[in-house]
Amino acid sequence: MPRKRHTQHTPLLSACATLAALTLTSCTSWVPAGDYEGWTLYVEDGSTVDNEAYCGAFDAAFIAVEDVFGPFVDKVDVHAISGSVDLQSGNRGTITGEEGVVEVVEGIGATVVPAFHAGGGGGLFSPSGIFVATPATGTAVHELVHARVAELGLSLPLWFEEGVAAIMGDGIEREGRWVVDGFSFWPWVELQEERPTKAELDRLLSLTSRQDHSVRENVIVHFVGWAVIFDCMRETGDLDWQRWLEESRSVEDLTSWAFARMERTLELDTMLTWLDRVEDEDPAVRLAAARGAWKVGDEDVIMLLLDQLEREEDGEVKACLAINALASLGRVDASREVERRLWPTVLRALRRVELPIEEEQVAARELYRSYRRWGGWRTRQSSFDKLDRFWRE
Ligand SMILES: [Zn+2]
């Protein structure tokens, strides 16, 4: 009999959708909160912002993006938004004062919109630049790709730009360095569940950020772009986006070319082979590979994470493996055999793990206790949230 354990073990693990080229309407007036090399941080008049956190995220992100796209010429305007974004369509939105609003996208579910890049239509109520709700490095990388592409005046196809931004924004920050992994479990799972047909792909590939399109289409363009570009990256083994762009422009039948690449990315073997990176000798690579693996909800994936967890010595990687194995239980009715191995391994890791950030260390202990104590589920969600850089993509 299938057991319903979804509500028992799993908090709401929402995914993040970063939107491109949103035309923004906002009545907010922005004031500078910090002036840094290459960028200015703005905040809504009357609000405060954690400057240090934004500096940490953007400093590492600038290095990663400039490495691939060349140095920025102009200063980038980064706006720290406190409220959520209310989307009218895939490329139109308004900043609201409400916090933590989750956008429910048809067929995809709960989605947080943590950031976007606005081209700006000009005028006082249509500001341009980057808008971010939380200072996460991956999000900063993703948005800086859009900002640099806009600065270069490249008119890239929407799917291509989103694909490259998604690849570059997938990774982990370790000791101030952004390490790209490129494999995102979220789009992989969503596309597996609902594969676009060739005809749908044809339309998605032709979408531009100026054309009006739905929120759902915008999210799917991200997914498809990611899947196609991931295959390019896997093939060339680097981030040579110009080469990928040239190839996509030179093929006779773009839809068939993209379809074949997407299909390759969606093969089970592609995912499992890539996940072997949890054994890499560089802990940053191991960390980046494991992050987000919970989303697959697959027993083989759980076993792979546990295999590495049993021999892992790095604190951050341990936490990442444990949390992703644990969160997988919300996606699969695991067999007794898997659970019997998972619980002691994961709980031991959470109880003993040493993490460099004090708040995360406390959250890991809290998470451990939440499974040992009656009523512990009350603190479970907030512990998962505090550890979100280990699982959220
Ligand atoms: Zn984007």
- Co-location of 295 and 206 in the same domain: no
Instruction: Single out the residue in 222, 239, 266 at which a domain terminates.
Output: 266
> pLDDT tens digits, residue range 68-85?
999 999 999 999 987 666
Q: In 3-state terms, what secondary structure has residue 116?
A: strand
- Co-location of 339 and 291 in the same domain: yes
Distance in Å, CA 235 to ligand 1 centroid: 23
Sorting pLDDT into bands at 50, 70 and 90, what band is 11?
very low
- Co-location of 328 and 187 in the same domain: no
- Co-location of 31 and 65 in the same domain: yes
Distance in Å, CA 289 to ligand 1 centroid: 21
Q: Is the pLDDT of residue 8 over 60?
A: no
Asked if 324 contacts 287 with a C-beta cutoff of 8 angstroms, the reply is no
- Co-location of 351 and 243 in the same domain: no
Question: For residue 25, how many other CB atoms are within 10 A of its CB?
Answer: 17
- Co-location of 127 and 26 in the same domain: yes
**Range in 98-107, 108-117, 171-180, 338-347 the model is least confident about:** 98-107
Residue written as token pair 């952004």: 178
Structural domain includes residue 195: yes
Distance in Å, CA 222 to ligand 1 centroid: 7
Distance in Å, CA 141 to ligand 1 centroid: 10
Structural domain includes residue 123: yes
Sorting pLDDT into bands at 50, 70 and 90, what band is 265?
very high
pTM: 0.88
User: In terms of residue numbers, what domain contains 191?
Assistant: 15-266
Structural domain includes residue 153: yes
Distance in Å, CA 162 to ligand 1 centroid: 5
- Co-location of 224 and 329 in the same domain: no
Distance in Å, CA 18 to ligand 1 centroid: 5
Structural domain includes residue 1: no
- Co-location of 102 and 233 in the same domain: yes
Q: What is the DSSP string of 281-342?
A: SSHHHHHHHHTTGGGG--HHHHHHHHHHHHH---HHHHHHHHHHHHHHTTTS---HHHHHHH
Asked if 330 contacts 297 with a C-beta cutoff of 8 angstroms, the reply is yes
* Residue ranges with CB less than 5 Å from ion ligand 1: 18, 20, 162, 165
Instruction: Single out the residue in 266, 288, 314 at which a domain terminates.
Output: 266
Distance in Å, CA 333 to ligand 1 centroid: 33
Instruction: Single out the residue in 221, 248, 266 at which a domain terminates.
Output: 266
> pLDDT tens digits, residue range 144-155?
999 999 899 888
- Co-location of 279 and 145 in the same domain: no
- Co-location of 196 and 333 in the same domain: no
From CA 54, how far away is CA 7, in angstroms rounded? 34
Structural domain includes residue 4: no
Q: Is the pLDDT of residue 113 over 80?
A: no
Distance in Å, CA 260 to ligand 1 centroid: 23
Number of domains in the chain: 2
